[in-house]
């Protein structure tokens, strides 16, 4: 059994308990106006004006739930019934930001079971993995609980469904930064890139960890990253992600380091004459960092190759770059 399968099995066992199954149960709906515990509340109906331009055909359940929610919202009621009402509303309108904030206020004030809340969020995220409000709600609950012990397993399971889910990565960035969990992140990324070196999300996240964690001295970053990145480039020279990744480091390199980068890239250019990325990287180096008349001549040659052969989709872009470099040469 793989590590991912173990994670999935563990979480399914935790989420399949009777108590947690009850979190998402949908019993037959009873109108709130028929419930004894709500007799003292006057619902507030939606005001659309005398001539609404576009009448939305809400369901009866949604209209009544919203009417009572407006009432508790206006009175700022903090109670168990208000907490339950917020859940009812979110089950039929899971992107309602105000309801999440109201629910958190109730949970925190009543010392509600935040671990149960995390299970509920996880079940909902299985159905709605790109619901921004749910991710934000989870972040606030974990922050309040001050316990991240299950979060990495949770994220691993979410990534099985979509390893490029933007919300998963934003949440991981927050989690790692908030709880200072930098230590194992490079190892995690390296393992994931071994499985899928084309996933640009892993490369983007690696750049974030390397530049923000402050665990690697700035002066030694380039040595570690050159070795790592060019190891991946040699496996797949046309993979855009590692090229874009390494070019983001150019601005922090000194002249000596730039020359080391240049030599590595130029060697790849000679070995892979039909790849656009060595040419693109050299063009950037020659026109912005290693500026000489000879290098600008080479940059013009490479730009023409890119426009005519290897990057014809951006032919107009390279045409403009050629004019810029020609003007640059005249000013030398």
User: Could you give the CA distance from residue 248 to residue 185 in angstroms, rounded to a whole number?
Assistant: 20
Q: Give me 62's structure tokens.
A: 């949604």
Q: Residues 164, 115, 65, CA angle at the centre, nearest 5°?
A: 85
The mean pLDDT value for 198-203 works out to 95
Structure tokens at 320: 């403009």
**69 with 85: CB under 8 angstroms?**
yes
Going by pLDDT thresholds of 50, 70 and 90, the confidence category of residue 6 is: low
Q: For residue 14, what pLDDT band results from cuts at 50, 70 and 90?
A: low
Mean pLDDT of 281-293: 96
When pLDDT is averaged across residues 263-269 and rounded to a whole number, the result is 96
pLDDT recorded at residue 23: 56
Structure-token pair, residue 202: 């892993």
Residue 18 has a pLDDT of 44
Report pLDDT for 95. Answer: 94
The three-state secondary structure class of 38 is: helix
pTM above 0.85, yes or no: yes
**Least confident interval from 189-193, 199-203, 221-225, 265-269:** 221-225
From CA 102, how far away is CA 106, in angstroms rounded? Answer: 6
- H helices of the chain, in order, are 3-15, 18-21, 60-75, 80-92, 97-109, 114-127, 132-145, 151-161, 166-179, 185-195, 200-212, 218-233, 240-247, 255-271, 276-288, 293-305, 315-330
Q: Which helix (H) or strand (E) segment is 216 a member of?
A: none
Q: Tokens at residue 6, please?
A: 């173990």
Q: How much is the pLDDT for 220?
A: 76
Please give the Cα distance from 230 to 282 (Å, whole number): 15
Half-sphere exposure of 85 (CA within 13 A, CB side): 30
| Cα-to-chain-centroid distance, residue 296 | 39
Q: Around Cβ 65, how many Cβ atoms within 10 Å?
A: 25
The predicted structure's pLDDT at residue 2: 55
Q: What is the mean pLDDT of residues 69-93?
A: 97
Would you state the pLDDT for residue 53?
A: 86
Query: How much is the mean pLDDT over the chain?
Result: 91
């Amino acid at each position: 059994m793989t590590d991912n399968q173990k994670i999935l099995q563990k979480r399914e066992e935790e989420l399949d308990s009777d108590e947690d199954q009850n979190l998402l149960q949908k019993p037959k709906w009873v109108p709130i106006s028929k419930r004894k515990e709500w007799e003292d509340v006057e619902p507030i109906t939606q005001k659309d004006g005398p001539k609404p331009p576009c009448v939305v055909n809400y369901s009866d359940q949604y209209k009544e739930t919203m009417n009572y929610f407006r009432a508790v919202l206006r009175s700022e009621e903090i109670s168990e019934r208000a907490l339950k009402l917020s859940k009812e509303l979110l089950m039929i309108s899971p992107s309602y930001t105000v309801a999440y904030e109201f629910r958190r206020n109730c949970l925190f004030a009543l010392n509600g079971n935040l671990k149960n809340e995390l299970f509920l969020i996880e079940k909902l995220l299985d159905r709605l993995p790109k619901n921004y409000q749910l991710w934000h709600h989870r972040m606030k609950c974990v922050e309040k609980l001050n316990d991240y012990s299950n979060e990495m397993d949770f994220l691993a399971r979410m990534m099985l469904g979509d390893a490029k889910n933007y919300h998963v990565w934003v949440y991981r960035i927050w989690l790692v930064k908030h709880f200072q969990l930098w230590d194992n992140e490079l190892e995690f990324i390296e393992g994931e890139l071994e499985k899928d070196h084309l996933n640009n999300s892993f490369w983007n996240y690696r750049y974030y960890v390397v530049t923000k964690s402050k665990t690697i001295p700035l002066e030694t970053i380039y040595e570690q990253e050159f070795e790592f990145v060019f190891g991946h480039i040699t496996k797949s020279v046309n993979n855009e992600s590692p090229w874009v990744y390494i070019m983001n480091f150019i601005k922090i390199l000194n002249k000596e380091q730039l020359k080391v980068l240049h030599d590595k890239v130029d060697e790849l250019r000679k070995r892979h004459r039909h790849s656009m990325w060595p040419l693109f990287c050299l063009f950037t180096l020659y026109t912005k960092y290693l500026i000489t008349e000879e290098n600008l001549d080479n940059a013009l040659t490479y730009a023409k190759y890119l426009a005519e052969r290897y990057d014809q989709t951006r032919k107009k872009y390279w045409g403009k770059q050629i004019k810029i470099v020609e003007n640059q040469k005249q000013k030398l």
